């Protein structure tokens, strides 16, 4: 197991603060105020899929510092998106007898996450500058 540097820890912490803060802001701006509100969570998670796939593709052929990768992926995107909120929203929907709603939310979350990941990856590939190959 490798030691995690102070720079990586700091970047994850800073990214986490920003990601969680942005998620809270989105919930405040578009949420209904209910204890369980699936719309902001769905939007945040789908955008997070797109963003994570974008940076994965964009950085694929680049040397990126460990602290930056960790700060954006684990810190910012990791706290911005939320699997646990999706699970409680599914549970509460099922508990309240809204089976079709829960199934729909699950299908849209997984299917939409896959589509957003595909879009993000393609956008990242298009945005990444291509390295010139040297002919020998």
pLDDT the model gives residue 2: 72
> What pLDDT is stored for residue 32 in this prediction?
87
79 is in an annotated binding site: no
10 in a labelled binding site = no
Q: Quick one: pLDDT at residue 135? A: 52
Whether residue 132 is predicted with pLDDT greater than 60 in this model: the reply is no
Instruction: Output the pLDDT for position 1.
Output: 54
Share of the chain above pLDDT 70, in %: 95
Q: List, in sequence order, the alpha helices (H) in 96-130.
A: 99-127
Q: For the residues 62-74, what does the mean pLDDT come to? A: 95
pLDDT number for residue 134: 43
- Whole-angstrom Cα Rg for the chain: 18
Each as own residue / partner, the long-range contacts of residues 13-16 (CB below 8 Å, 24 or more positions apart, any chain) are 13/75, 14/71, 14/75, 15/70, 15/71, 15/72, 15/74, 15/75, 15/76, 15/77, 15/78, 15/79, 16/74, 16/75, 16/76, 16/78, 16/79
Res. 72: pLDDT tops 70? yes
Q: What is the pLDDT of residues 27-60, one digit of tens each?
A: 999 988 887 889 999 999 999 999 999 999 999 8
């Amino acid at each position: 197991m490798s030691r995690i540097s102070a720079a990586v820890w700091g970047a994850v912490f800073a990214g986490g603060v920003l990601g969680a803060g942005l998620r809270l802001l989105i919930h405040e701006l578009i949420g209904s105020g209910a204890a369980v509100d699936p719309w902001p969570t769905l939007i945040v998670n789908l955008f997070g899929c797109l963003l994570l796939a974008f940076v994965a593709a964009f950085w694929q052929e680049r040397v990126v510092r460990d602290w930056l990768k960790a700060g954006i992926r684990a810190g910012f995107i990791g706290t911005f998106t939320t699997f646990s909120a999706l699970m409680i929203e599914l549970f509460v929907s099922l508990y309240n007898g809204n089976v079709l709603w829960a199934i729909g939310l699950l299908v849209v979350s997984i299917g939409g996450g896959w589509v957003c990941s595909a879009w993000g990856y393609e956008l990242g590939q298009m945005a990444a500058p291509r390295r010139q190959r040297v002919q020998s």
